[in-house]
């Protein structure tokens, strides 16, 4: 039985490699800003940065099924610029209820925050919903893993630097207790590690 175990593990890894899309396909599936009706930020006002960390956020408000995520993004962009005087949406990516990924702020520009931490160097991911109140669904969890794996591979971010907003600030509960437990229990780091291993095996 012990002799068969490595073969079984190799088979499982092989199956996972063939089941998952390559990460460049994940990147191509991200809905660009122009497609959801957003406008580009003023590059002359941006703080440029290099990505060294990946940080998870939640919307912090209820997001009812049937809500148009593209309309939400347009409202968020307008609010961010007019009410907060920020460059743009504070996050670089937003994930909706169906696990669809949207580009928000240009990844080359540092994000913004209402708390005291400096988000420079952080790739910021927002998941819609208030996860103090509701559980993230599986499509959202899967999308977080896919996006984190893409960003970790592209920017050489270590697994230790995959964290959440509350790991950088004691003035917030973001990303909400029901999503934070997936960070605290290393669910995302574990799944991202498997995803990256699969991508590496695919390229051999």
CA triple 31-172-154, angle to 5 deg: 35
Could you tell me the pLDDT band of residue 145, with boundaries at 50, 70 and 90? very high
Structure tokens belonging to residue 35: 């497609």
In a domain, 5, yes or no: no
Q: Answer whether residue 190 is part of any domain.
A: yes
77 HSE (CA, 13 A, CB side) = 23
Determine, yes or no, domain membership for 199. Answer: yes
Confidence category of residue 6, pLDDT binned at 50, 70, 90: very low
- Residue 168's pLDDT band (cuts 50, 70, 90): very high
Asked whether residue 13 is assigned to any structural domain, the reply reads no
> Residue 76 belongs to what domain range?
22-203
| pLDDT average, residue stretch 164-176 | 97
Domain total in the chain: 1
Strand partners, 164: 56
Q: Report if residue 15 sits inside a domain.
A: no
Q: What is the CATH number of the domain that holds 72?
A: 3.40.80.10
In a domain, 75, yes or no: yes
Which pTM value belongs to this model? 0.90
| Residue 78 forms part of a structural domain | yes
Sheet containing 93-95, strands listed edge to edge, beginning at the edge strand earlier in sequence: 101-103, 93-95, 122-127, 53-58, 162-164
Assigned domain for 7 exists: no
Could you read off the pLDDT of 18-42 as tens digits, one per residue? 457 899 999 999 999 999 999 999 9
pLDDT digits (tens, 9 = 90+) for 52-62: 999 999 999 99
Give every CB contact of residue 153 below 8 A, 6+ residues apart in sequence: 23, 196, 199
103 phi, psi to nearest 5 deg: -75, 140
């Amino acid at each position: 039985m012990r002799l068969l175990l490595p073969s079984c593990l190799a088979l499982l890894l092989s199956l996972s490699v063939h089941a998952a899309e390559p990460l460049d396909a994940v990147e191509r599936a991200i809905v660009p800003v122009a497609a959801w009706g957003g406008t580009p930020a003023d590059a002359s006002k941006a703080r440029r940065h290099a990505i060294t960390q990946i940080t998870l956020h939640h919307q912090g408000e209820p997001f009812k099924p049937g809500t148009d995520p593209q309309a939400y993004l347009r409202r968020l962009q307008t609010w961010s610029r007019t009410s907060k005087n920020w460059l743009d949406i504070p996050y670089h990516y937003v994930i909706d209820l169906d696990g669809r990924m949207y580009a928000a702020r240009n990844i080359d520009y540092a994000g913004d925050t209402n708390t005291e931490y400096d988000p420079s160097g952080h790739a910021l991911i927002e998941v819609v919903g208030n996860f103090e109140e509701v559980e993230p669904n599986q499509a959202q969890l899967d999308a977080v893993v896919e996006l984190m794996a893409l960003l970790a591979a592209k920017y050489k971010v270590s697994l230790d630097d995959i964290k959440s907003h509350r790991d950088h600030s004691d003035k917030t509960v973001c990303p909400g207790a029901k999503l934070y437990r997936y960070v605290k229990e290393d669910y995302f780091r574990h799944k991202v590690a498997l995803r990256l291993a699969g991508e590496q095996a695919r390229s051999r």
